[in-house]
Structure 1
């Protein structure tokens, strides 16, 4: 029985040694099969073991070949780096397990390399610390991506902060995640005063229901543009905001851009008041108010064009040819203005009398006056005017002219008719003076009669002269 035992013992030891060698080879294959750096050092900071990537990396950085038993702190790294790493190793030898990030220029890649390194104390079976296990992973790609992302984020934040509009992100619960610097001028808050708080906390309560509907619509996938609500500024005043927003279903974030609508609201109110005044003026006058947009060639006619002439009022691009067609043909060349003539001319004030065709085909006499509004370059942009119906006045003028002509004719006829007998009397008086001998008293009487008759003849002559003039 002893013989077999003696024969089996060397075989068992051989198997165990082979198994150990195989395990070591597997471990070496494992640690050498990675690009990551794996090494361990003893308490004297000498290399216990290291994979091929570690040795290759040290060779590239320092030009030295390292092996087991060599000092891990290679002087070619430089004193600053040696001091820093000595402190790392001492921390690990004090029992601390930690991670560090390092960057160093890699001559093999001719670029800066970033690494994430772990240092862990190693203990034997008696819990005695005998060394440090070290592992270094190349995180250059991730780091560069992160740096690029940070640079992009910084550029985006710079763009956001340079915007006059308030740009913000809100999560699905309505909590503000980020907000641009414009919140200072729009709401009076610093960005950090808003981040982390519900957006609706700053909303004017009367607009809450409307805004909740808007938010729900956006989160349902509908893009929102130019929706308006009111927010309460830090000083308690209200500010109208115009919002554009969209929802990112993947990140569950609502992106919004808010513009201060205060000036626009003021302009809209001023325009509304101006339009109301314009409407009141058009209603208060019997004239037809017109407004010609020289940039679009649209012409507006007030309601009085319907009341006076039966045509359709309002703004219409077709109103310009409509105007040309309704001016009397005999007046058209004298009266009609063309767009370029007005835009690029120097005329400011314009006034004409002409005939304008009504809806029933009859012509009305109108007195039309306008003023050209020019921009800072002197180019006409609008022409505004008033058309007055002067038909009754014109008809009255014609009647008066006709009456005057009739009176002049009557005066002329009457003057001639009256002068004829006066001339006859003067002829008879001359005949009496030449052929009849009278007493002194008769001669004096005839002279008075002749003088009176000549005075009457002078009056009639003056009447004829004025009638002719």
Structure 2
């Protein structure tokens, strides 16, 4: 045995080295504990070893002997005389080695040492093994954290998809109810949406009422309706009501269907109302309450053909002169006879069927029919008896032939109305193709922020407002539809609003008139605002891209760690083999050199792991953001590397106009410290080494920079230097992680970092940006 360390037992050493190389392949923490306990128990001077990892242990602990065993640091503070003779701590020599990283303590190695002198040469190796185990546990749990992060991002993606489904459901709801008065109030009773029909009933346009409270629209009955709203919101259950409302042209009755608006979380956030004007029905019901004498008087007072019918036998009880004239008989010839005997069988069957409908519903039934080229508008009113049953039916038939002819002449306007109803409350246009003139309805203008008729109704005016990048495609699609090459026209494009912003439009058209050759003469179409849907789709795509980037980063991180940790381990392994040989021949100087190299490789691996841990914290462990004066921060960074600056004789200038930014002060200090230190390191043989720290304005963006007149960087390496462990000079000091750390910190501040250098000998400028603090004006606007 030499004057140095005692000869290490090769079998025990091999077991420890084999253990260290097998840590990453352990099936689980229980298997890892068993491997370590078996290996460390074989060390010279050690009788037993128990491995504990956060509550679990490799074997049952001997509680009386283990309780109170101090760690190495505590043991050094406690004099040996404090241990009572014959106590378990004196009889059993236990030692505790902590499993700790800079981030967390994970457990202990507890060794029962029989011979402290025999165990001493292996104590550092056992400590190194503890470090490797702690780092392995931390890496495993970090991977589990990243997996959980991926699951959280997937949950966000599902939430955004649900929002898109809700948006689409709202449009469908509008389409289904566009033929009635439709509106939505929020929980406070403020109107947030209504259609043209509802606005027309109220005597204005949608924009006249949206944003107003129920008290402003119906001041006299608002409290009553708010009580209904509260009940529906509380119970999340809809209801139907019939109420009178005072309008500009008098009182109207409406049958209203109130339903709660439920969001994707299941909360009631508003009230949806679909209302139908039932004023005529109410008036008819009032008429039904009058006596038979009143009904007979009405028959003679009206200019329409009027009948009073007995529903029991479908006979005529009374009629007026207009009705008798229509049948070509006198009143005496008609009264008492059945409908079958007075009318053609098919007409009589239709009238009886309608009469039976009146009996079942006890409501007014209106219908139109045609007889001998004449059109009639028929209304059947039930007359109720004391028991509430229908005892008579009053029938009024109005000759509407002239009105029908007028309606035919106004067919164009009817088609516009029909299409407007069928495609919800969107903007509508009617294009006269031969003259190239277009009729735009008021909603077409107002949805883009224009006043009605603010720009001329021509195809060219529409085309001028289509985004330049979409114009060619959209106009080609129009031409293909007009020529018959495309079966339909359904396109989405950007359309310029009055305020200059772009909104996304879905345009659909239909050819409704052609000439004899099939050439389109008239086209009717709609504009639908789909900006919100587009924004949600873009946010979903960004979320997916972010998830993919983080998965890729996880793969790169795992590859880099596994690759770069091998280098110091290989060094340690090689010198351990040399150490074994030198110990065998007793070469103390060679043993000392091998141990120094092993320690150096261990320190390198420890520094590498420390840097990796620091890099992994960026974006996870965030200090509270604050206002940071960059000029003061740059001075602090210079103080931290003053030794390097003075040793290299570098002159540092900090411009006086550096602004105050909003961010993580400690992380930004790391950025300046690394950039200044990097500039000093690569200054080269410059006779007048100089570093300038300042800022400039590039296209309204503030750019911060650290400029040096050192050795410079070739343009082809500008991106490479920001990679993990990428160093252009392999002989340079450091781990190669500094610029990767800077890039991660800047990106965590929503900025970017880059290099400006013309090449070798031209110096280098490291530039970076930092996003300004969020304000109300930074909220995304429409695309």
Shorter chain as denominator, the TM-score bin is: 0.3 to 0.5
Higher radius of gyration, 1 or 2: 1
The alignment's TM-score, normalised by the length of structure 2, stands at 0.21
The alignment's TM-score, normalised by the length of structure 1, stands at 0.32
